[in-house]
Amino acid sequence: MKVVHVAAGIIVRDQQVFISKRSSAQHQGDKWEFPGGKVESGESVLEALTRELKEEVDLDVINAQAFHQLEFDYGDKIVQLDFYLVDKFDGVGRGLEGQQTAWVNMSELDDYNFPAANQVIVEMLMAQFS
Q: Which CATH architecture has domain 3-88+96-129?
A: Alpha-Beta Complex (3.90)
Q: Sketch the domain layout of the chain as residue ranges.
A: 3-88+96-129
Q: What is the pTM of this model?
A: 0.90
Best-predicted range by mean pLDDT among 45-54, 67-76, 111-120?
45-54
Mean pLDDT across the stretch 94-115? 93
Residue 26 has pLDDT above 90, yes or no: no
pLDDT digits 0-9 by tens, 48-73: 999 999 999 999 999 999 999 999 99
Identify whether the C-beta of residue 101 lies closer than 8 Å to the C-beta of residue 93: yes
Return the minimum-mean-pLDDT range out of 26-35, 48-57, 97-106. Answer: 26-35
Q: 3-state class of 75 per DSSP? A: coil
Q: Which of 35, 9, 12 is nearest to 22 (CA)?
A: 35
Residue 30 banded pLDDT, cuts 50, 70, 90:
confident
Gap between the Cα atoms of 78 and 88, Å rounded: 30
